[in-house]
Structure 1
């Protein structure tokens, strides 16, 4: 049962738990349809802060997953940059050469 005062939480044996349903468009990334994590607190105030932070992090992660899945306009025009060209030599300082 979710608590009425703190979003995305419920209480079991006096301890608060965080609970969120995985959105249907992202279910292929998860083994379960619901995420539940113990907040390790009996304090309503601490649970509210922790649930808020956890929810924000989860939303940010889900947004990254959605962006990775979406088609970006002009993606066919982006050059493929190899990883080797992005390596930085840490032994010598870099100097800026502008052409």
Structure 2
């Protein structure tokens, strides 16, 4: 076998790419080997690179979990994915028994493809808040009392009604999709929870006519030709606002 610098964490044998990565010394107690190695089943550099990076990211996430699961960390509610053997990514549950953290895995597997990292973090953070308040239960064990306690905790955090609406919407979506994937009827306790959706929401006042005219005057005073090389098409803004 020969190491291939064009693809991270890889080597080749007879033209086939293999993933190889050493287990960190402080995590060797969790493994029966000092390195993880397996075939990426491709001769393509592009495909091998994508598969190797995905495997490395999965291992980094799992190793972070191993290092952090027993620590009293700020933001520990973000560490929700149940550990899978051999560093593999969590899979969808095989029975109708599923915890909320596993439901997040199902949700992101179905809805997270191609979504930005903020989408994934929102799902983990929102459901993490539930777990912090009501515990890491099986989905069917959550009650209306838990949902109300969750609401009260969000209010205590000082969140606005619009932020609470987004968080509750994410939790409902996660739990509903997990139940749908399992084919089980589910009365969602996070639906219909009352709170003031307008609490803390500030409405932006529209600009006055005088303010708009001042902006237009400033735009008209700009030399479009002089600044076009800096602002590109933004130089046409002054024309848009002319009256």
TM-score by length of 1: 0.74
Q: Indicate the residue corresponding to 1:35 in structure 2.
A: 36
Question: What are the residue-to-residue correspondences of 1:4-23 with 2, within 5 Å?
Answer: 4-23=5-24
Deviation at 1:69, TM superposition (A): 3.4
Deviation at 1:18, TM superposition (A): 0.4
| SS in structure 2 of the partner of residue 69 of structure 1 | coil
Deviation at 1:44, TM superposition (A): 0.9
Structure 1 alignment gaps of length 5 or more: none
Q: Deviations over 1:36-95 (max 9, x none)?
A: 02100011111011111111111011111111133447xxxx9995858x8136357565
Q: Indicate the residue corresponding to 2:142 in structure 1.
A: 88
Higher helix fraction (1 or 2): 2
When the two chains are superposed, the root-mean-square deviation of aligned CA atoms in Å is 2.9
Question: What are the residue-to-residue correspondences of 1:70-89 with 2, within 5 Å?
Answer: 70-72=71-73, 81=135, 83=137, 87-88=141-142
C-alpha separation in 2, matches of 1:26 and 1:80: 31
Pick closer, same or farther for the CA change 1:82–1:17 going to 2, 3 Å. Answer: closer
Higher relative contact order (CA closer than 8 Å, sequence separation 6+): 1
Higher strand fraction (1 or 2): 1
Q: Indicate the residue corresponding to 1:55 in structure 2.
A: 56
* 1:2 paired to 2:9: no
TM-score by length of 2: 0.33
Q: Which has the larger radius of gyration?
A: 2
Structure 2 alignment gaps of length 5 or more: 75-131, 144-185, 196-243
C-alpha separation in 1, matches of 2:134 and 2:142: 18
Deviation at 1:3, TM superposition (A): 0.8
Pick closer, same or farther for the CA change 1:92–1:51 going to 2, 3 Å. Answer: closer
| SS in structure 2 of the partner of residue 35 of structure 1 | strand
C-alpha separation in 1, matches of 2:57 and 2:133: 33
C-alpha separation in 2, matches of 1:18 and 1:82: 34
